[in-house]
Structure 1
Amino acid sequence: MASIKQRADGVWRARYRDDAGREHARHFTLKRDAQRWLDEVAAAVVTGQYVDPKAGRITWDEWATRWMERQSWAMGTHEAATVAVQSVPWRDGPIAGVKSSHVQAWVAAESKRGLAASTIKTRLNYVQMSFRAAVADKVIASSPAVGVKAPRGRKAEAAMRIMSAEEVNAALDAAGDFRGFVEVCVFAGLRLGEAAGLQLRDVNFLGRSICVARQVQGATNKTAQIVPPKYESERTVYVPDELMASLAAHVKRQSVTGHDEQLFVTPLGRLWHRNNAAGEWRRIRETAGLSDEVTLHTLRHTFASNLIAQGCDVVTVQRALGHSTPSITLNVYSHLWPSAEDKTRSATASFMTEIRNSADSLRTETKKPQFRGSRQR
């Protein structure tokens, strides 16, 4: 039910009741403005876009907390989302008061702080997800984050660092007891958490394979825990005899005997995690004389680069790396595969060589001397 009435002071009062029976009213100087507002409300109701104006009074912090509590995320994902939603400057204000300009200004501020483009993109993604959920729950009518873009990052071919054979050797020589950890990253392509989560039963010495069945999540000794691997990352990686021999030596040296024992632990017997493994890698990097841009994840990029250089197709690389789809592999590593121009040039060169060899063979046959039989007397 809706109505418009003029008050004694000449102001027009427009009001309506929503489906829950709550009354909403606004005051206008002109009657036509009051009627326009009621018409907009009626249109929103008919199209299913109606939102209770009071719903948007909830603060961003309150909404984001409720939204994240409903998600069935892994711990690492929840941590990343928490950092993202708490990095915005409108945390204490009503969610309905956030404008597109506010979101874009926040992205610009994050960029000026020196955050990597990929980090800003991840944070923006979580913020956009939260706004979309608010729209779906009829908390706000539309998302102010629609159309907001993160700054562009460097091209993969420029940003991705691949280690040379000399650099890998230097890192292995400097690794000490951490050598096995480094080897499964660079020769099996495991992520940091996947390498930290390996147990003795995951290594099939006779079958020359490593099963990725768990990972370590968390960044401190207190929060580190063993959980299932990332979605669709559970896999079997087939590795050479040399890696198996090295891991066998590690198992013997560290006296790892139980099937459910961790293959790699710190000198104090704790799980390796994001912080202490990164600290150990910094020690190795400094000892080996490697640049700061060479991270533990660079080992995984190096593994993928070698597979591609050896002629492995995208599906083979995808499965070895544990990507959920080939498109993810291509998005990250497409620049490492030979281009169409390279393939065309190489194929034509092979064809030309074949033609040339055939022509040379034909000329050789033609130039062979012809011997006549001796005359009979």
Structure 2
Amino acid sequence: MDSRRPTGTLLSKGENARREPKWLIRIDYGRKPNGARDRRAVAFTGSKKGAERKLTELLAQRDAGLTPSPEKTTVAQWFRDWLKLHAAEGHLSDSGRERYDGIIEHHIIPKLGTMTVKQVRGQHITQLKTQWLETLKPATVYKHLVVLRQAFEAAVAANLIVRNPADAVQNPSVVRGRQEQRALTEAELRKLLDSAAGTRFDHPIRFTLATGVREGELLGLLWSDVDLKGRVINLRGTKSTNSRRSIEISKVMVDLLEAHRTAQKEARLKLGAAWPNTDLVFPSTVGTRWARRAFYRDYKKVVDATKELERPDEVKWHTLRHTAASLWIMRGADVFTVSRRLGHASAAFTMDTYAHLFKGQQKVAAQALDGLLRRA
């Protein structure tokens, strides 16, 4: 190990939804056996003094030789620490962090948590994959395997293990081509809107139907992104460059947002200083970001309360986005407009997803020039 002992570094990573400071603490452990620098990082939430105390504590542990041990570090310990760091470094959105946390806590740790990272072999993950496929869809199992590979790859980089045990495991066969997604009929949509009236979901549902935004875009939308005078919503994007876009809105939606902002100001006055300055358009009841699990749980209550809704278990939040796009197309919107409005990677993707709705326009195109081409 190097004779020089750096003091480590403390980096500010902004604030979380509760306006608590986030920090990234980096410690230099010297050199790995291959000569590369052995740097490790720990995420910390709290005051700067608290982060400085944690830095001092970690340096003391390092100097005492208390480094992560491959023989002692369990899968549960490693995956939880890795997720904190992975999120602190900006690799995951808030909703992505919740999704990863759910996979780790409910699907990985209950099966592998007590094993040390070094004990896990490809056969253990293959067995786990087989168990998952008994109750989960192949596409869901694939997402679980992605988390496993990422966490174990980080363990390789941290010199805890030599190779990634998940690399030897094949992905489940996922049927190529998209299953036609569920879209609500206009009659079903009216019933859902009636059920949502007077609830916290009234405005979010109407906004999503008008704009086609993703759930993550809805929950992360700030008032600074909303130009009511210009009738434009500026989305910063949660997935790709294409998802960063501007969406025009109607006068009806402007009126709805103005009423929503007025109601939000009244709620903020009631809470006073307890309401955080998040600037969120659709926050929780206390002004923080609406937790994804609570959001879906409460939305399901609205769906369940909707009478005569066909296959209600299939009416997810994404169904609203799909319904919006379907209605736009059936009312004559072209594929490029729909693609840009949804933030798709390409018009080809939009066409592939909604091809069945564009079929009716073939007849229109086929007859478009009949009057000109018909011989007298």
TM-score higher than 0.5 here?
A: yes
For residues 55 and 333 of structure 1, do their structure 2 counterparts lie closer, same or farther at Cα, with a shift above 3 Å needed?
farther
Tell me which of 345, 352, 368 is aligned to 1:334. Answer: 352
Q: How much has 1:182 moved relative to structure 2?
A: 0.9
Give per-residue Cα distances to partners, 1:44-68, cap 9 Å, x unaligned. Answer: xxxxxxxxxx967754344434543
Contact 2:278–2:288 at 8 Å: present in 1 too? no
RMSD of aligned C-alpha atoms?
A: 4.1
CA distance in 1, matches of 2:79, 2:286: 39
Structure 2: distance between partners of 1:92 and 1:58 = 9
2:207 is the counterpart of 1:187: no
In 2, distance between residues paired with 1:161 and 1:55? 47
Q: Distance in 1 between matches of 2:292 and 2:218?
A: 11
Mapping of residues 54-73 of structure 1, within 5 Å:
58-71=73-86, 72=89, 73=91
**Distance in 1 between residues matched to 2:76 and 2:223, nearest whole Å:** 44
Q: Measured at CA, do residues 133 and 251 of structure 1 come closer, stay the same or move farther in structure 2, by a change above 3 Å?
A: closer
Residue in structure 1 matched with residue 4 of structure 2 by the alignment? none
How many Å apart are 1:125 and its aligned residue?
0.6
Match of 2:96 among 72, 77, 80: 77
Give the share of equivalent positions with the same residue, in percent. 23
Q: Distance in 2 between matches of 1:320 and 1:142?
A: 43
- Equivalent residues of 2:95, 2:292 under 8 A apart: no
> Aligned with 2:136: secondary structure?
coil
Where does residue 6 of structure 2 map in the other structure? Answer: none
Q: Indicate the residue corresponding to 1:6 in structure 2.
A: none
Question: What is the CA distance between 1:281 and its match in structure 2?
Answer: 2.4
Tell me, which stretches of 5 or more residues in structure 1 are unaligned?
1-17, 21-53, 214-227, 362-377
Residue of 290, 313, 322 corresponding to 2:335: 313
Task: State the one-letter code of the partner of 2:301.
Answer: R
Q: Deviations over 1:15-74 (max 9, x none)?
A: xxx879xxxxxxxxxxxxxxxxxxxxxxxxxxxxxxxxx967754344434543542134
CA contact (8 A) 2:203 2:260 kept: yes
Q: For residue 288 of structure 1, what is the aligned residue in structure 2?
A: 306
Which residue of structure 1 lines up, in the alignment, with residue 119 of structure 2?
A: 97
Matched, 1:167 2:188: yes
3-state SS of the aligned residue for 1:299? helix
Match for 1:182: what amino acid? I
What's 2:247 paired with?
237
- Report the Cα distance in structure 2 between the residues aligned to 1:270 and 1:131, rounded to whole angstroms: 33
The structure with the larger Rg is 1
Q: Secondary structure at the match of 1:360?
A: coil
Q: Give the structure-2-normalised TM-score.
A: 0.61
Question: Are the structure 2 counterparts of residues 333 and 305 from structure 1 closer, same or farther at C-alpha, using a change threshold of 3 Å?
Answer: farther
2:114 and 2:279 map into 1 onto residues whose CA distance is 47
TM-score normalised according to structure 1 size = 0.61
Give the conservation status (yes or no) of the 8 Å contact 2:74–2:116: yes
CA contact (8 A) 1:193 1:273 kept: no
Farther-moved stretch of structure 1 (263-272 vs 66-75): 263-272
Mean Cα deviation higher: 97-106 or 69-78: 69-78
- Shift of the 81–274 alpha-carbon distance from structure 1 to 2, 3 Å rule, reads closer
In 2 relative to 1, CA 165–91 (structure 1 residues): closer, same or farther, beyond 3 Å?
Answer: same
Q: 1:116 to 1:307 in 2, by over 3 A?
A: same
Residue 229 of structure 2, aligned match among 186, 206, 210: 206
Do residues 111 (structure 1) and 111 (structure 2) align?
no
Shift of 1:256: 6.2
Deviation at 1:318, TM superposition (A): 4.7
Q: 1-side partners of 2:205 and 2:263: how far apart?
A: 16
Is the 1:84–1:127 contact (alpha carbons within 8 Å) kept by the matching residues of 2? no
Conserved in 2, the CA contact under 8 Å of 1:200 and 1:256? no
| Residue equivalent to 1:32 | none
1:79–1:148 Cα change, 3 Å? same
Gaps of 5+ in 2: 1-32, 36-68, 269-276
Paired residues in the alignment total 288
- Preserved CA contact (<8 Å) 1:124 1:150: no
Task: Assess if the C-alpha contact under 8 Å between 2:278 and 2:287 holds in 1.
Answer: no
Task: Give the SS at the match of 1:93.
Answer: coil
